[in-house]
Amino acid sequence: MIYRHWLTALTFAVVFILAPGVPRVAAQQVVMKIGDAGPAQIHRHFMAAASFVFKDYVERLSGGKIRVEVYPENQLGPTKALMEQAKAGVLPAVSTHASVSTLFVPAMELIFMPFAFNSPEEAWKLYD
């Protein structure tokens, strides 16, 4: 019985000691870096536009808790290096050409095969 009271008291003590730090940790903003092979001007290439649409989407849905930094024009390295950084866990996201992705995921070469599908609808079934 005494052991149970001590355990309860210890649990409350730990909670009250650690509780003030919880809001600070929860309030911290997380920074997500995206390496992008596309140009910085979103009107010049679809990859650049996609990265910035993703940035706005994540920041809006996270309520500002996640800040996305887009590094276009291979600022963080050439396209192959970007993929290697993503594979190693250094970069959480990369926007690069599908042809570079095939070096790391050979099955993606399927999308470059001519006449592999009988119709656009059949191709979209694969992509979905």
Every domain of the chain and the residues it spans: 25-127
DSSP-assigned states of every residue in 21-59: HHHHHHHSPEEEEEEE-S-S-TTT-HHHHHHHHHHHHHH
Distance CA 58, CA 66 (A): 7
Distance CA 70, CA 55 (A): 8
pLDDT digits (tens, 9 = 90+) for 60-88: 999 999 999 999 988 999 988 988 998 89
Distance CA 95, CA 67 (A): 17
In this prediction the pTM is: 0.64
CATH domain 25-127 topology: D-Maltodextrin-Binding Protein; domain 2 (3.40.190)
Q: Which residues pair with 34 in a beta bridge?
A: 70, 93
